[in-house]
Amino acid sequence: MCGIIGYVGKEDATPYLLDGLRRLEYRGYDSSGIAVLDKDGGINLQKCAGRLENLRRQIGDKPESGCCGISHTRWATHGEATDENAHPHFDQSGKLVLVHNGVIENYQKLRDDLEADGHQFLSQTDSEVLGHLIGLAYENQNGVKESNSEERLVAAVREALKKVSGTYGIVVMHVDAPGFLVGARLGSPLIVGLGKDENFLASDVSAVVAHTSDAIYLNDYDLVCLKSDEFKVERIDGGAADFQVSQVEFSAEDVELGDYPHYMLKEIFEQPESIENAFRGRLSDEEASAMLGGLQMSPQELRDVDRIVLVGCGSACHAAMAGEHIIEALSRIPTEVEIASEFRYRNVPLDKHTLVFVISQSGETIDSLGALREAQRKGFRVLSLVNAVGSTIARESDGGTYMHSGPEIGVAATKSFTSQLTLLTLLGLLLGRMRDMSVSDGQEILREIRALPDKVREVLKQNERIKEIALKYVEAPGMLYLGRQFNYSTALEGALKMKEISYIFASGHASAELKHGVIALITEDLPSVFVAPKDSVYEKNMSSMEEVKARKGPVIAITTEGNQELERIADDVIYVPDTIECLNPILSVIPLQLLSYHFAVARDCDVDKPRNLAKSVTVE
Ligand code: F6R
């Protein structure tokens, strides 16, 4: 949450910062701001509430010129989305500016103390307090030579950070130290982009990939000093930092919209490729199994696993719920799902043969990271299933597997979800083949996995038909989603997609739960979406559908190609190609993604940037 980018180079900073903010807007879009050190040594600051467009308009034809600057796009935590609360924030002297992502938990006490000493605050944010604290430490630096402003600034950042508790990714700039930026992180992501005669600090690599593919993923407690042709990474306490320069694995083009009107639609349509990328090089015909070398576990260690705990938030948690069914069906290993935010504060019993698996697209979700650290603190091996290469969860886990979905920018998770399901199936296959699964069953799963991309293409061909259905129900006051077994989590995921981008109430349920309460909601106006492929619970699903129809509730059914029977019961039927039961959710969720997309567009909602949300939830 919140995106920050700093630039120091030989060019005018403003275009770099605005372009970087555009790419980071998915992280928060309540307000934005930019501060550039101008040629006369003053700080030009522009900031305002609302979308980045507002800031662009405000800057208009009076762009600030200067080769060093910092900027921010906000997702409000402390204080409403107003001009005053937008970042960057000045210190008391007006000579230092700061951008911050994270939460300073003890800000109120610090603010009270500073106010008692005469500091005046212009915003309600916790971040401004940190700016004042650093500015004060800068003024009070005694141990460092007066003339060395850069050293003084670094020492001030170090000293101030000792006083705060909470999380931060910060970038700081001071008029006394032109062409010099200081960044630090704890709990909020920060990367360094290394260019030619220009360097960057940003919340993620997508902000800098148009200019460089050399990046350093900072660790917690790292501090970085940046000039146009020089960088230094150390620990905040002054110790040596362990870092390396990595190559970003995607290009600037990958983060462009192309011909699509929205990232969400683009990402839905990328699924044939993203699913293929998830399994490419990981299928073994010889062993009728999967190869997941990144887990870094020997066959013996994998055999010893007698329980799996899958952890995630939101859509990643729904993928985990599908994973529970898949892994148990394929390997018979008892598998449980924990919501990451619950897991980290709960004393979940684990034993030495329990494998904890954290699932996260961004690899930065603070609750998932907290869960990972909690399990590691207890001495457990924690693996991860992550999309963003070099992200904190990927780096801190003891092994794992990357999704290789490419950047997912639309706030609603789409392609990452189907990649997660694909990889959880590979995990189930690998573990199953180490136990009782036969070669022929393993081969069948491999065949079906390989067939997925083409089957997904078939589903996508129905886009226009799904749009028609969405338009038909666009005035609906809400939506119910129902599914069973492997597709219970598909129902939850479909409902989440609808809620988050269309702002109508939607809820997902196990179909048979209808009659235990939910059926009271059924009216002529409330559509129910049934995920009802021709599987082992098809007839049961059909009975639930009949119960809804008997009460005049409209029904949209997702079922298997060739199964015409549901035309008789349902008002609208969407067909997906046949596959094995455990892979059906990958196909069935796609019509649900498209349904919510078209629904949201028809309701004039901002599909890629739904209200109150941000893509990467890096605050608790
Ligand atoms: C829903 C959605 C969120 C994320 C959740 C976890 O469409 O995108 O629910 O799934 O915030 O994010 P990651 O996977 O980045 O940990």
Q: State the pLDDT confidence band at 18, using cuts at 50, 70 and 90.
A: very high
pLDDT value, residue 508? 98
Among 64-68, 158-162, 557-561, 574-578, the least confident range: 64-68
Secondary structure string (H, E, C) spanning 54-99 = HHHHHHCCCCCCCCEEEEEEECCCCCCCCCCCCCCEECCCCCEEEE
Ligand 1 center from residue 188 Cα (angstroms): 16
Domain end (from 439, 461, 483): 461
Report which DSSP code applies to 51: -
Q: Are residues 447 and 474 in the same domain?
A: no
Q: Are residues 385 and 453 in the same domain?
A: yes
DSSP letter string, 566-583 = GGGT-SEEEEE----GGG
Residue 454: helix, strand or coil by DSSP?
Answer: helix
Q: Are residues 177 and 139 in the same domain?
A: yes
Q: For 501, phi and psi rounded to 5 degrees?
A: -110, -15
Task: Please choose from 344, 362, 497 the residue to mutate so as to test ligand 1's pocket, defined by most ligand atoms within 8 A of CB.
Answer: 362
Q: Are residues 415 and 506 in the same domain?
A: no
pLDDT value, residue 349? 85
Ligand 1 center from residue 313 Cα (angstroms): 6
Domain end (from 426, 461, 496): 461
Kindly list the strands in the beta sheet with 478-483, ordered across the sheet, starting from the edge strand earlier in the chain.
505-510, 478-483, 528-531, 555-560, 572-576
Q: Angle formed by the axes of helices 415-433 and 584-602, to 10°?
A: 170
Distance separating alpha carbons of residues 338 and 327, to the nearest angstrom: 15
Residue 277, domain CATH: 3.40.50.10490
pLDDT value, residue 56? 94
Structure tokens given for 497: 């997609």
Distance separating alpha carbons of residues 91 and 383, to the nearest angstrom: 42
Using the predicted structure, report yes or no on whether residue 252 has a pLDDT greater than 90: no
Ligand 1 center from residue 256 Cα (angstroms): 21
Contact 507, 498 (CB under 8 A): no
Q: Are residues 424 and 297 in the same domain?
A: yes
- Which residue's CA is the nearest one to ligand 1's atom 3? 314
Domain end (from 188, 223, 255): 255
pLDDT value, residue 146? 64
pTM for this predicted structure? 0.90
Using the predicted structure, report yes or no on whether residue 151 has a pLDDT greater than 90: yes
- Which residue's CA is the nearest one to ligand 1's atom 7? 412
| Atom number of ligand 1 nearest to Cα 414 | 7
C-alpha of 54 from chain center = 25
| Atom number of ligand 1 nearest to Cα 368 | 16
Residue 222: helix, strand or coil by DSSP?
Answer: strand
Q: Are residues 234 and 278 in the same domain?
A: no
Contact 198, 227 (CB under 8 A): no
Ligand 1 center from residue 361 Cα (angstroms): 7
Q: Are residues 354 and 483 in the same domain?
A: no
Residue 65, domain CATH: 3.60.20.10
Mean pLDDT of the 584-611 span: 96
- pLDDT digit string, tens, across residues 544-580: 999 999 999 999 999 999 999 999 999 999 999 999 9
| Atom number of ligand 1 nearest to Cα 497 | 7
Using the predicted structure, report yes or no on whether residue 145 has a pLDDT greater than 70: no
Task: Please choose from 75, 206, 315 the residue to mutate so as to test ligand 1's pocket, defined by most ligand atoms within 8 A of CB.
Answer: 315
Residue 172: helix, strand or coil by DSSP?
Answer: strand
- Which residue's CA is the nearest one to ligand 1's atom 11? 314
Distance separating alpha carbons of residues 507 and 503, to the nearest angstrom: 12
Ligand 1 center from residue 616 Cα (angstroms): 7
Q: Are residues 271 and 395 in the same domain?
A: yes
Q: For 298, phi and psi rounded to 5 degrees?
A: -75, 160
DSSP letter string, 405-433 = -----SSS--HHHHHHHHHHHHHHHHHHH
Catalytic residues: 2, 615
* Closest alpha carbon to 450 in 589, 213, 275, 240: 275
pLDDT value, residue 64? 61
Q: β-pairing, 181-186 with 168-174?
A: antiparallel
Using the predicted structure, report yes or no on whether residue 471 has a pLDDT greater than 80: yes
Domain that holds residue 586: 462-620
Number of domains making up the chain:
3
Q: Are residues 219 and 264 in the same domain?
A: no
Ligand 1 center from residue 363 Cα (angstroms): 10
pLDDT value, residue 147? 67
Mean pLDDT taken over the chain: 95
Residues in contact with ligand 1 by the CB-under-6-Å rule are 313-316, 360-362, 365, 368, 412-413, 496, 500, 616-617
Using the predicted structure, report yes or no on whether residue 356 has a pLDDT greater than 80: yes
* Closest alpha carbon to 471 in 577, 608, 611, 604: 604
Q: Spell 244-264 as b/e; 16+ CB within 10 A means b.
A: eeeebbeeeeebeeeeeebbb
Mean pLDDT of the 495-509 span: 97
Q: State the pLDDT confidence band at 284, using cuts at 50, 70 and 90.
A: very high
Task: Please choose from 27, 262, 264, 313 the residue to mutate so as to test ligand 1's pocket, defined by most ligand atoms within 8 A of CB.
Answer: 313
Contact 311, 371 (CB under 8 A): yes
Q: Are residues 450 and 497 in the same domain?
A: no
Task: Please choose from 263, 268, 311, 365 the residue to mutate so as to test ligand 1's pocket, defined by most ligand atoms within 8 A of CB.
Answer: 365
Ligand 1 center from residue 315 Cα (angstroms): 5
Using the predicted structure, report yes or no on whether residue 87 has a pLDDT greater than 90: yes
Mean pLDDT of the 252-265 span: 92
| Atom number of ligand 1 nearest to Cα 313 | 6
Distance separating alpha carbons of residues 544 and 460, to the nearest angstrom: 27
- pLDDT digit string, tens, across residues 124-133: 999 999 999 9
162 Cβ partners below 8 Å, 6+ apart?
none
Q: Are residues 279 and 341 in the same domain?
A: yes
Report which DSSP code applies to 313: S
How large a percentage of the chain has pLDDT more than 90? 90
Strand partners, 228: none
pLDDT value, residue 1? 77
Using the predicted structure, report yes or no on whether residue 143 has a pLDDT greater than 70: no
Contact 296, 398 (CB under 8 A): yes
pLDDT value, residue 142? 67
Q: Are residues 275 and 246 in the same domain?
A: no
